[in-house]
A and B are shown apart, each in its own frame.
Chain A
Amino acid sequence: MNKLLDSNLFNQEFVPKRHKFCDGRAKSDISLASSAQQRFGMEEKMEKAIEICGLTKRYGRNRGVQNISFVVEKGEIFGFLGPNGAGKSTTIRCLLGMLRYEAGEIKVLGHCAGKEQKAILQKTGYMPSEVMFYPSMTAGQVIKLAADIRGLSCGEEAERLCGLLGVDRKKRISELSLGNRKKVSIVCAMQHKPALLILDEPTSGLDPLMQEVFWELLTKAGEEGTACFLSSHVLTEVRQYCRRAAIIREGSLVRVDTVENLLRSSLRNIKLAGVEEAPALPEITGIKREKDSVSFSYTGEMQKLLRALLVLAPKDVLIEEPSMEEMFKWYY
């Protein structure tokens, strides 16, 4: 648990032990739990927006997510990347208390997920990827309903957000496109100025102008201390707006790191001219043969590659850094 709370370690790949203590469902080590309880004191509450440790969720015999662990700091915009079906939405729904999980521990804004779910949701704004509201209600009624259930008067902020996003409050939900429903969802998620925003593919369906407005809103919220946890497929957005990101593949976390470090991997695109075969190295993948050249991806040590190239003696060698898309495909 001490490892979990060490944010430096969370910048690296980290596989925690399976345990939890929030809701008493797991038979966890008591001393470990009490030590963690001490560490999850007020100080921690103020600094961490999300703490997930060893989260495991299965759907019957099917895989959900396995042993997921990471921390989202207060005020940061954190990206959550992965291909379809990797477990992004499952993780988000566990955070929001919609799914019960078999193992692990989740703390959101210092509160235990599941046990103190109402307190979590009071301070959280959520925007799902497939936004749907009650079709017979108007956008304005939905926004007011969300504020009324929160017991807050958010009229002024809702008005401001509707103005910025161009939400027609009189239109019925059934008449709105996905993009317009997303705008309503942004207002619902942000009108109460939450301490944490959880956004599942937030910009899908939004036009480029609205995307710009959305990111401005999010950046400003981040500056005011709101943490933002977003899942996305749009890598350029993640590179531009997120400080750190986690990559999930087939239900398991591949890596948690700063976006800068994620991009600074050992993956290189190599092109050799004047040869027909690539060196026989296990770190080589994606070999493509052309007329008088061969290209491939390489993830090993450069000295090892150079030694192999001396034997092949190509006419020319081109070594490139991969694009962001290539990099994430590699992680996926």
Chain B
Amino acid sequence: MFKDLDPILHSQLRLSIVSILMSIHEANFNFIKDETKATSGNLSIQIKKLQDVGYIKVRKTFKNNYPNTSLSITKKGIEAFESYVNSLKNYINPK
């Protein structure tokens, strides 16, 4: 009856990461860590999962000799997020 919810997005931490990236042009790892209050290890794992399915783009650079990981959402990620939100709406208010 309902469209299945995207299992990649239906996880609190991954959904938080994508939600943050939906409102920000680009964010670095520490910013996401502060916002989600997740541990570095867990965050890295979830970021990898989102990157593997092509929902987010990860850019690794060096800033003042320190590694800097920047994340941004991809077109595929935006589409998946929109579709996920629409599915949620259908679950909450089925026609």
Question: Do A and B come from the same complex?
Answer: no
Q: B-side interface residues toward A, CB under 8 Å?
A: none
Chain A residues engaging chain B, CB cutoff 8 angstroms: none
